[in-house]
């Protein structure tokens, strides 16, 4: 229960709207507390959480920019950027649940002991179901600014009249993100011969929808999320639920984990979309936020991450496509031809990036994330908010290096996640020769093929035993 505020006794005598105004005049202690929650918003995190320098200067390349450079003898040949769309509105389902929770709070008589309930009853419900997951104005800015930073980081690749291949998932928020990214680059790049600005390619960007085995075994299999369901009913969530119920003066039976999660999501949406700390945030302490972050990560882990092999194997189509384009660029370079696709930008979802990163072995913890190891996972690598916030981006850069000057192999690769160089597992360095990289992923390159991975077995086995 939140500490009683100095004005609570007085507020008791007033109707709820006046009580809310009074609350606004009081020192903003619970509102300040909310600033500490934003690191735990999981997949609803702002991009600024992973790059805080952008808060002050959205076009700054940040403190790591200089360290990521290769020797001057290397020139970038090809850049492939996989993007998650920018900041979006809640989905229709989330908006509906929020509407129900909000209506319930408004129906209740003003209770003096519940300033949080009064503040929430006075909060204006402004989300409409028609917003359903669409790109928010902030999401357009996320994309325009990301485009400008990438162009500033790789000026030679983004120079005028280079050819840009821009593809996207068919979801409205991704198409809009692609268009915003394009605008951010300015008019000088060439789109090649095809007229369309953004090409829709769901088989690459929404491979999960097209993978029959994933759909049957994970997406449509209720039992696949058993760890998530167990955590919702477990002691950590129970404690958060009881605290929230008590702050709202609701019987705990009237709440459930999903409603608590909607309240927390609303806190995150209001910050990401409107840049405000809403009264929904005051329901939660930092400890509560950690529990709700874990709930979000558990779902990502079992649905998009290491939980089941098919989650990551379904991304083989994208993995293969990346290496095919790298191969082609190397071929063209070796035969002194112009690089046909120097810039490939593809816009998808957190669900596009997370499986690919898992396929490549990144952010893997020694132990799986489970309902019963919340405490042991306190320092886990698998934190969605750090990996796939809004506008998350995974960039592969292929370089051609002048051997005489560097004594390094001719073709080198870097990977950047959210504009920061990643350490390759095989070398623990931020650059790798292309040959070493292909050698490290030899097994996936040779044996992981979408069609075979995603085909359902002919015999009818029930999914869960097989997982
Ligand atoms: C999507 O990309 C894949 C791999 O590059 C390609 O084979 C396929 O033709 C593309 N689909 C569309 C609709 O462009
Ligand atoms: C968001 O709000 C903070 C604090 O009120 C302010 O400093 C910052 O400039 C705002 N950011 C944007 C993008 O409006
Ligand atoms: C990898 O390199 C970083 C510094 O770049 C170092 O801190 C870390 O200990 C290294 N890890 C391994 C496993 O060698
Ligand atoms: C597999 O089982 C499901 C439900 O048990 C059934 O609907 C489906 O027709 C079966 N498929 C085959 C190929 O036997």
pLDDT tens-digit readout, 122-132: 999 999 999 99
Going by alpha carbons, the residue nearest to atom 7 of ligand 3 is 428
Nearest to 119 by CA among 207, 217, 11: 11
Statement: residue 5 has pLDDT above 80: no
304: tokens are 């998009």
Least confident range of 84-93, 150-159, 389-398: 150-159
Q: Are the C-beta atoms of 227 and 302 separated by less than 8 Å?
A: yes
Helix (H) or strand (E) holding 295: helix 286-303
Q: What is the pLDDT of residue 29?
A: 41
Statement: residue 19 has pLDDT above 70: no
To the nearest 10 degrees (0 to 180), the angle between helices 350-359 and 316-334 is 70
**List 53, 85, 325, 425, catalytic entry:** 85
Q: What is the pLDDT of residue 17?
A: 46
More confident of the two residues 176 and 66: 176
Cα(393)–Cα(78) distance, integer angstroms:
16
Q: How far is CA 70 from CA 114, 157, 297, 326, 397, in A?
A: 58, 15, 34, 18, 11
Looking at mean pLDDT, say which of 58-72, 101-115, 155-169, 214-228 comes out highest.
Answer: 214-228
Q: What is the pLDDT of residue 14?
A: 39
Cα(78)–Cα(72) distance, integer angstroms:
16
- What would the 3-class secondary structure string for 195-252 be? CCCCEECHHHHCHHHHCHHHHHHHHCCHHHHHHHHHHHHCHHHHHHHHHHHHHCCCCH
Least confident range of 236-240, 321-325, 406-410: 406-410
Active site residue 85: yes
Q: Where are the beta strands (DSSP E) in 306-392?
A: 343-348
Task: Using the mean position of ligand 1's atoms as its centre, give its distance from the Cα of residue 336 in Å.
Answer: 27
Q: What is the pLDDT of residue 62?
A: 85
Task: Using the mean position of ligand 3's atoms as its centre, give its distance from the Cα of residue 250 in Å.
Answer: 50
pLDDT tens-digit series, residues 271-295: 999 999 999 999 999 999 999 999 9
Q: Are the C-beta atoms of 89 and 132 separated by less than 8 Å?
A: yes
Statement: residue 414 has pLDDT above 80: yes
Confidence of residue 402 (pLDDT cuts 50, 70, 90): confident
- What percentage of the chain has pLDDT greater than the value 70? 85
Q: Are the C-beta atoms of 231 and 374 separated by less than 8 Å?
A: yes
Mean pLDDT across the chain? 88
Phi, psi of 378 (to 5 degrees): -60, -35
Task: Quote the DSSP letter at residue 16.
Answer: H
Q: How far separated are the first and last CA of the chain, in Å rounded?
A: 41
> The whole model's pTM is what?
0.88
Statement: residue 11 has pLDDT above 70: no
Q: Tell me if residue 462 falls in helix, strand or coil.
A: coil
Q: What is the pLDDT of residue 159?
A: 81
| Ordered alpha helix ranges (H), 81-154 | 92-107, 115-122, 137-153
Q: What is the pLDDT of residue 464?
A: 55
Statement: residue 12 has pLDDT above 80: no
Phi, psi of 400 (to 5 degrees): -105, 125
Cα(164)–Cα(199) distance, integer angstroms:
11
Q: Are the C-beta atoms of 272 and 85 separated by less than 8 Å?
A: no
- Tell which phi-psi region holds residue 290, choosing left (phi > 0), alpha (psi between -120 and 50) or beta: alpha
Cα(225)–Cα(209) distance, integer angstroms:
17
Q: What is the pLDDT of residue 466?
A: 52
Q: What is the pLDDT of residue 342?
A: 94
Q: How far is CA 255 from CA 16, 41, 228, in A?
A: 22, 21, 17
Statement: residue 327 has pLDDT above 90: yes
pLDDT tens-digit series, residues 54-98: 999 999 998 866 656 666 788 999 999 999 999 999 999 999 999
Q: What is the pLDDT of residue 35?
A: 60
Atom index in ligand 3 nearest the CA of residue 428 equals 1
CATH numbers and ranges of domains, the chain: 51-458 (3.40.50.1240)
Q: What is the pLDDT of residue 93?
A: 95
Phi, psi of 168 (to 5 degrees): -155, 155
Nearest to 182 by CA among 168, 170, 194: 168
Atom index in ligand 3 nearest the CA of residue 430 equals 5
Task: Using the mean position of ligand 3's atoms as its centre, give its distance from the Cα of residue 428 in Å.
Answer: 6
Once rounded to an integer, what is the mean pLDDT over residues 381-406? 92
Cα(192)–Cα(179) distance, integer angstroms:
16
Once rounded to an integer, what is the mean pLDDT over residues 118-142? 95
Q: What is the pLDDT of residue 210?
A: 97
Confidence of residue 108 (pLDDT cuts 50, 70, 90): confident
Going by alpha carbons, the residue nearest to atom 1 of ligand 1 is 201
Cα(168)–Cα(171) distance, integer angstroms:
8
Task: Quote the DSSP letter at residue 357.
Answer: H
Task: Using the mean position of ligand 2's atoms as its centre, give its distance from the Cα of residue 286 in Å.
Answer: 22
């Amino acid at each position: 229960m939140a500490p009683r505020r100095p004005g609570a006794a007085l507020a008791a005598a007033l109707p709820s709207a006046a009580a809310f105004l009074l609350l606004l005049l009081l020192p903003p202690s619970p509102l300040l507390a909310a600033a500490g929650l934003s690191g735990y918003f999981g997949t609803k995190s702002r991009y600024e959480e992973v790059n805080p320098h952008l808060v002050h200067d959205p076009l700054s390349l940040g403190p790591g920019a200089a360290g990521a450079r290769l020797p001057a003898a290397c020139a970038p040949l090809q850049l492939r950027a996989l993007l998650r769309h920018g900041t979006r509105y809640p989905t229709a389902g989330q908006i509906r649940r929020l509407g129900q929770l909000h209506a319930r709070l408004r129906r209740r008589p003003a209770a003096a002991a519940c300033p949080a309930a009064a503040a929430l009853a006075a909060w204006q419900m402004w989300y409409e179901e028609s917003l359903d997951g669409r790109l928010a104005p902030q999401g357009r800015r996320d994309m325009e600014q990301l485009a400008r930073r990438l162009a500033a980081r790789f000026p030679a690749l983004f120079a005028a009249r280079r050819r840009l291949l821009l593809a996207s998932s068919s979801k409205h928020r991704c198409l809009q993100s692609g268009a915003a990214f394009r605008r951010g680059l300015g008019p000088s790049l060439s789109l090649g011969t095809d007229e369309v600005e953004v090409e829709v390619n769901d088989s690459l960007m929404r491979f999960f929808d097209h993978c029959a085995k994933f759909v049957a075994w994970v997406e449509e299999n209720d039992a696949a999320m058993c760890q998530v369901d167990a955590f919702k009913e477990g002691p950590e969530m129970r404690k958060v639920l009881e605290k929230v119920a008590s702050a709202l003066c609701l019987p705990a039976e009237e709440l459930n984990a999903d409603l608590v999660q909607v309240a927390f999501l609303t806190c995150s949406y209001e910050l990401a979309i409107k840049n405000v700390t809403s009264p929904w945030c005051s329901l939660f302490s930092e400890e509560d936020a950690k529990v709700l972050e874990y709930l979000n990560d558990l779902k990502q882990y079992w649905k998009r991450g290491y939980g089941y092999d098919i989650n990551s194997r379904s991304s083989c189509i994208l993995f293969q496509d990346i290496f095919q384009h790298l191969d082609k660029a190397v071929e063209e370079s070796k035969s002194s031809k112009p690089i046909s696709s120097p810039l490939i930008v593809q816009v998808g979802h957190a669900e596009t990036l997370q499986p690919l990163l898992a396929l490549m072995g990144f952010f893997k913890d020694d132990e799986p994330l489970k309902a019963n190891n919340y405490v042991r996972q306190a320092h886990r690598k698998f934190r969605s908010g750090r990996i796939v916030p809004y506008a998350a981006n995974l960039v592969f850069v292929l370089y051609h290096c002048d051997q005489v000057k560097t004594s390094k192999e001719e073709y080198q690769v870097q990977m950047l996640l959210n504009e920061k160089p990643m350490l390759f597992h095989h070398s623990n360095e931020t650059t790798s020769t292309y040959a070493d990289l292909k050698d490290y992923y030899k097994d996936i390159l040779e044996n992981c093929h979408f069609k075979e991975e995603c085909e359902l077995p002919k015999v009818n086995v029930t999914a869960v035993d097989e997982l």
